[in-house]
A and B are shown apart, each in its own frame.
Chain A
Amino acid sequence: MAEATLKIFRGTREGGTPAEYHVPVAPGMVVLDALHYVQQHQAPDLAVRWNCKAGKCGSCSAEVNGRPRLTCKTRMDTLPQDKPIAILPMKSFPVIKDLVTDVSWNYKVNKKIPPFQPRAGVEWKMYQEDVDRVQEFRKCIECFLCQNVCHVLREHDKQEQFGGPRFFVRVAGLEMHPLDALNRTGLLKNELGIGFCNITKCCTEVCPEDIHITDNAIIPLKERVVDDFYDPLLGLVRKIRNAVSPSKRQPNE
């Protein structure tokens, strides 16, 4: 049986180094299997976050040979076997131990987003063509790989001013819900800092669920923000239209 060499980061917030492990490679094996092999045979205290090992929970994110991946969906046979496979924790989040990072910031951002609020007296009818695009956003498994690669967070550390692609996807799912009554453009502009995104599409590239984050979520949301805050003519049209038949309103209106 072929053997692979893994170089896995071992350490904590205080620092650490990669350690080398040798793992036999079975057909169809994924990187998470290799990590489990290391736990079972060589390092029982190797910290790895995972749950389903089926690509559904989004827990096992790491950087494999420099690429942010779900380790449960990264086949060993897609990686060069003639040199060590480097496995590092996600860079944009503080390391807790080994491959486990502190992703609690994401849960704090999530709390800022006003939830779905149905329009008053709504009839609960929706058509497939209306929910199709929202269902795309709701495929998100919160692996936070998009947050990890976004340079606004990764290089510029704008955690205080910026929500990150994951939460633009969540807001898009709410804003484009056919029966939702709220307008969250103020939140997007101010608290979530959508203006920082300069649509480099790094998030879209790493999404394991193939959500078109930039094209389908961020760009349409940016357009809404521009319409609401920077286009005086459209703003006026909307004011008049709202006075006649109210559409989406800001949370505090």
Chain B
Amino acid sequence: MKKAIANKEIDVNEEGYLLDFSQWNKEVGESLAEENGISMTDKHWEVIAYLQEKHHKEEALSIRGIKKSGVINIKEFYALFPGGPLKKSTLIAGIPKPKSCI
């Protein structure tokens, strides 16, 4: 389906995740964050960049991976993206929601 995000027509799935990463830019991320009650800081963007890089390398995302990332620890991760950190952060990053149970 189509959704208007940051004055752009963006293809998203029924959960609101972007279907085509090439349609993503910082404004889109900013707008998705705002919808989820998150105001982005430099630390948020650092995490988003890490997630996108992992995704482009086709490496699976998990909470254990976050712990080992060296970018952020788990406590901060939960504080930055309250209410389901990996779910929220991947949505903002314009990449698919991780399918893993861990």
Real binding pair: no
Q: List the interface of chain A (C-beta within 8 A of B).
A: none
Q: List the interface of chain B (C-beta within 8 A of A).
A: none
